[in-house]
Amino acid sequence: MADDEIWVDPDMRQAMARSAEIATEYGLAADRSKLTPEQARERMELDRKWWNEERPQMARIVDTTVPGPGRDVPVRLLYPRDGETLPVIVYLHGGGWVVGSLETHARSMHLLALASGCVVAAVDYALAPEMKFPGAIEETVAVIDFIAASGASWSVDPDRIALSGDSAGGNLAVGTELALRQRGTSPVKALGLVYGVFGDDFDTASYRAFGAGAWGLTTADMKGYFGHYLSGPADHDDPRAVPMKADVTGFPPCFLQSAGVDVLRDDSRLFYEKLRAAGVTVSHTEHAGITHGSMGQNRMVGKSRDLITGLGAQLAGALGE
C-alpha cells in the first residue's frame, strides 16, 4: 500500500509534525534502531514530555508500593474524586516491554480516571531485558492480589477490578489474566485493551502496510522488543506471552480499541475474532486514520480523546460505575 493511499486523520498529521519538531528541539536522531534499552528509555521520556503537560486535575494522587515476587512494585493511584470507595482499573503502560513509565503515559491515565470515574492504579512494572518474561506479569499479579485482599486500604472496591493497558501493556493485561486463571479464579471483571500485542506474526496485512517506518512503530521495532522480552523460542509458545495462542474461554468482558494506521491493527482484529468465537462478551472499536501510540498524543488528536472516553465508559459500565 502506497503512502498516498493511506488516509491519515488531519489531527494525527499535525501531531506527527509536532513529534518531529520535538525530536528536532531535543536533537534526537530519526533512527532509533541503534539505541540501547537505556538510551531508548531516555529518548521516550523526552519524546513524551510535552505530550504529558497540562494534565487534568485529580482529586488525589498517591505513589505507593506493593510487595512483589522480587521487589516492592511501584504503583501510582489516581483518584478522580475523593471521599468514597471506587472501582479500580489496574493500568499497564505500553513501550514494547522495554521503555515507558508512569510519566510517559501520565496524561492518558488521568483522562481515563476522569472518563471512567474509577481509580486508576498504574503499575510501574519491571522492564526488559533486565526483567524477562514473565516477570512483569508476576508483578502485576501481585498488585491484583493486594487489591483483592486489601483494596479497602486504598479506598477501592476489591470486588470491582478491571485490568487495562496499551500496546505491550495490553499484552501484559491478557497475560496477567491468563496467569490468574491458571492459578485458580481471577477477580478481574473486565479487560480494556488498546492496540495490544496479541500475536507474533510479523507478516499480517497491517505489518506489511505500515511496518517500514513512515508511521511510527515498525516491524523491526517489534522484532527487537520481542527479542528483549522473551528468553528464547520456547517463550513464543507460552500463551501468556502470545495471547493468540491462548484458550480464552470464560474470559471477562473485553473491550478492544485499536488504531487504523498501525502494524498492530490486525492483532486487534484477529484477537477480537478469537474472543468472539470463544463466546466472550467483546467489542472492538477501530479508530481510522490514527497511528500506534496516538493515545498519548491526546493533547492534539481528537480521536485519541474519543478512544480514552470510550474505553472509560466501557470499563465503568462493566464495573457498575
Identify each DSSP E strand in the chain by its residue range.
60-67, 72-79, 86-92, 119-123, 156-166, 188-194, 254-261, 282-291
- Among the options 167, 186, 258, 294, which is catalytic? 167
213: left (phi over 0), alpha (psi -120 to 50) or beta: left
- 9 assigned to active site: no
- Among the options 164, 200, 292, 294, which is catalytic? 292
Residue 84: C-alpha distances to residues 81, 152, 261 (Å):
8, 10, 40
| Nearest CA-CA partner of 189 in 163, 151, 157, 154 | 163
- 93 assigned to active site: no
- Among the options 157, 200, 262, 267, which is catalytic? 262
- 63 assigned to active site: no
Q: What is the DSSP letter of 161?
A: E
Which one-letter amino acid corresponds to residue 181? R
Tell me if 264 sits within 8 A of 204, measured CB to CB.
Answer: no
Q: What is the DSSP letter of 303?
A: H
Number of Cβ within a 10 Å radius of residue 275: 25
Q: What amino acid positions are annotated as catalytic residues?
A: 167, 262, 292
